[in-house]
Amino acid sequence: APLTDTEAIRTMVEEVLNWRGKLNVLINNASSFYPTPLDNANEKQWDELMGSNLKGPYFLCQAAAPKLLENHGCIITIADIYARNPLKGYSIYCIAKAGNTMLTKALAKELAPNVRVNGIAPGVILWPNTDDQMSESIKQTVIDNVPLKRIGSPTDIAQTALFLATSASYITGQIIAVDGGSSLT
């Protein structure tokens, strides 16, 4: 469903419930990511980045909450290490991810004790899809600044999500950095 369309989000949750009959875990993973330097950022970019990174996840949580409460489920949001330490030239994205982090904490309080809400803040996992965003020298500079000296993999995020969904019964309101130590700097 388009994450900027709250009616489509509600319909999607209804379709999932009609298909499966229950809901135990919601992972908010969809996201837009691209640069928005202040001098040429526009309202369309604001709406898209806020929509996919904050508005959509919030209203998806709202639509799923009744079933998650009933099933003592959990919500996992995919935040970003740049929610805490912004990435130059990506201000709107970073602002949206900071809001996503607060969404995690606020809903952890609001939905407790029946639903645990946590987040994962990935570091560099995959490079952007377009070569014009990052040259090979920029990629190498990024890797050089990661204490583990490599990028992560989607499996690193999936394993953390699995842990939060199945083995973290006393963890809520937390954002786990999966970033090779990048957030230490």
Q: Catalytic site residues?
A: 93
State which amino acid sits at residue 115: V
With beta carbons less than 8 A apart as the criterion, state whether 52 and 30 touch.
yes
Separation CA 12–CA 2 (nearest Å): 10
Q: Who's near 38: CB < 8 A, 6+ residues apart?
A: 91
Inter-CA distances, 39 with 22, 97, 137, Å: 47, 20, 25
Look up residue 58 and give its two tokens: 């919030």
